[in-house]
């Protein structure tokens, strides 16, 4: 049987749930579709948010011959089979090629499309869950208009869920009773993925007994069948890096609630390693010298987490995340090493000063024989003025004291001692 999501394909643009930022009244993509003059398009966004649905609708509205390929399974020969049909009956009104997951097509495969989309024999609508500016060949991008699709708000998903139960009831000749709370449970749990919501609705329908011609869908059944379905996570995809980015930026921004939210998303996905690694980086990069004692504390929490594993690992990691969020912040250490590395990459290296070298051989022509290293512990306050940087960098300053209490205490100490 055809999947429920396919049986629910909308008849009008207003039937499409979500994407009001591009499909609402007066919005750009809606105007393009209503003009019946469809350019080459790239739909970018997570799965289950209407990309295929809209492409199918466009093909029907424009009376073009609809061809669909998936980048994960299609080959160059599949494209050539479509090209052979262009001069026949199928090509009379033009061919709309919907290429799903275009990011899996290599450069050569994408290039084979150029001739046909340039002469107008093929109108390309490509979709991708990854950033097209990273994965789609530039020549295709320059001939296409990119529209970003976003996760569908649960209020919009609710419309599709109610419609799904209505169709299921009609198809089976029975009645369905479902309260608003249960509809919301299914809609929220899908995480903005309408296809997931449709699957959950159908499973809930199938898992409910019919009593006197009525199926009463309970919230308990809905919860059992939708648990964890809101998680979008692909360790190789944009979503993975978006979560990690939000995780560290929330800690850097001292927002414990947000940081814990993203930590939870990583842990529920089972990505303990990424959660630990980014936490340690943040302790060093964003807290750093403002509270250096936190670094070994975080490392200890990470060691405990890795030792006990999930689900218990969530506890030491939550403690560490909260500490990082509440700690004073300083990135002076990171800025200092970045400046030093920039000099090295630019070729500003120079010879190591003679007094710092491990051993030194003096030739007969050297009038100033000897290492001449000054041992700081032989002087007051264990400090003596001495050149440490190479000559070409001897006045370079990489490190600037942060404005936090800890680094300012260091500064006050050395201001008294250093000339």
387: region left, alpha or beta (phi > 0 left; psi from -120 to 50 alpha): beta
CATH 3.30.70.100 fits 19-148, yes or no: no
Name the CATH superfamily housing domain 332-417.
DNA polymerase III clamp loader subunits, C-terminal domain (1.10.3710.10)
The model's pLDDT over 187-224, given as tens digits with 9 standing for 90+, comes to 888 777 888 888 888 888 888 999 989 989 998 888 88
- Residue 81's pLDDT is 87
Query: Average pLDDT per run of 10 along the chain, which is 419 residues long?
Result: 68 83 90 90 87 88 86 86 79 82 86 84 88 85 90 86 89 90 86 84 89 90 71 57 90 94 88 91 95 95 89 94 95 93 88 77 59 85 89 90 91 88
Whole-number Å distance between alpha carbons of 29 and 255:
37
Q: What is the pLDDT of residue 2?
A: 66
For residue 108, CA distances in Å to 85, 127, 329, 389 come to: 21, 18, 48, 51
Q: Which fold has domain 154-226?
A: Helicase, Ruva Protein; domain 3 (1.10.8)
Supply the pLDDT for residue 170: 87
Distance between CA atoms of 51 and 271, rounded to whole angstroms?
28
Beta strands in 1-48 (DSSP E): 41-44
State the Cα–Cα distance between residues 203 and 242, nearest whole angstrom.
Answer: 31
Domain ranges for the chain: 19-148, 154-226, 238-326, 332-417
CA distance 29 to 22: 5
Q: Where are the alpha helices (DSSP H) in 283-331?
A: 294-308, 314-326
Phi, psi (deg, nearest 5) at residue 46: -65, 165
Q: What is the pLDDT of residue 358?
A: 73
Query: Do 127 and 43 form a contact (C-beta atoms < 8 A)?
Result: yes
27 bridge partner residues: none
SS3 category, 36: coil
Helix (H) or strand (E) holding 226: helix 219-226
pLDDT confidence of residue 327: 94
Buried b (16+ CB within 10 A) or exposed e, 27-66: eebbebbeeeebebbbbbbbbbbbbbbbbbbbbeebebbb
Whose tokens are 């303990």? That residue is 272
- For domain 238-326, the CATH architecture is Up-down Bundle (1.20)
**Percentage of residues in the chain having pLDDT higher than 90:** 31
pLDDT for res 357: 78
Q: Residues with Cβ < 8 Å from 278, sequence gap 6 or more?
A: 244, 247, 248
Q: What is the pLDDT of residue 375?
A: 87
Name the strand (E) or helix (H) holding 211: strand 210-211
What was the pLDDT predicted at 146? 92
């Amino acid at each position: 049987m055809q999947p429920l999501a396919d049986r629910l394909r909308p008849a009008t643009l207003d039937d499409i749930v979500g994407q009001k930022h591009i499909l609402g009244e007066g919005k750009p993509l809606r105007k393009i579709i209503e003009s019946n003059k469809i350019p080459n398009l790239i739909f970018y966004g997570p799965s289950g948010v209407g990309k295929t649905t809209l492409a199918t609708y466009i093909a029907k509205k424009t009376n073009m011959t609809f061809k669909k390929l998936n980048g994960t399974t299609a080959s160059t020969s599949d494209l050539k089979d479509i090209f052979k049909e262009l001069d026949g009956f199928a090509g009379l009104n033009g061919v709309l090629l919907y290429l799903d997951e275009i990011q899996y097509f290599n450069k050569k495969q994408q290039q084979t499309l150029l001739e046909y989309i340039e002469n107008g024999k093929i109108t390309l609508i490509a979709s991708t869950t990854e950033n097209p500016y990273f994965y789609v060949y530039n020549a295709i991008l320059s001939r296409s208009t990119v529209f970003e699709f976003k996760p569908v708000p649960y209020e919009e998903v609710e419309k599709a869920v109610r419609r799904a139960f209505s169709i299921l009831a009609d198809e089976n000749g029975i009645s369905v009773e479902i309260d608003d709370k249960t509809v919301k449970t299914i809609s929220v749990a899908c995480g903005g993925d309408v296809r997931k919501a449709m699957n959950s609705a159908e499973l809930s329908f199938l898992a409910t007994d019919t009593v006197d011609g009525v199926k009463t869908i309970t919230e308990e059944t809905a919860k059992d069948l939708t648990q964890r379905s809101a998680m979008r996570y692909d360790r190789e995809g944009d979503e993975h890096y978006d979560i990690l980015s939000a995780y560290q930026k929330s800690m850097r921004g001292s927002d414990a609630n947000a940081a814990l939210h993203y930590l939870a998303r990583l842990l529920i996905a089972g990505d303990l390693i990424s959660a630990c690694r980014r936490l340690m980086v943040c302790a060093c990069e964003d807290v750093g010298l403002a509270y250096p004692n936190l670094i070994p504390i975080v490392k200890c929490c990470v060691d405990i987490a890795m030792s006990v594993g999930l689900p218990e690992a969530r506890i030491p990691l939550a403690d560490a995340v909260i500490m990082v969020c509440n700690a004073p912040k300083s990135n002076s250490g990171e800025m200092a090493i970045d400046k030093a590395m920039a000099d090295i990459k630019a070729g500003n290296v120079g010879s190591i000063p003679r007094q710092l070298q491990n051993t030194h051989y003096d030739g007969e022509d050297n009038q100033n024989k000897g290492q001449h290293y000054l041992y700081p512990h032989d002087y007051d306050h264990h400090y003596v003025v001495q050149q440490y940087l190479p000559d070409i960098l001897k006045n370079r300053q990489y490190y600037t004291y942060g404005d936090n209490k800890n680094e300012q205490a260091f500064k006050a100490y050395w201001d008294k001692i250093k000339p």
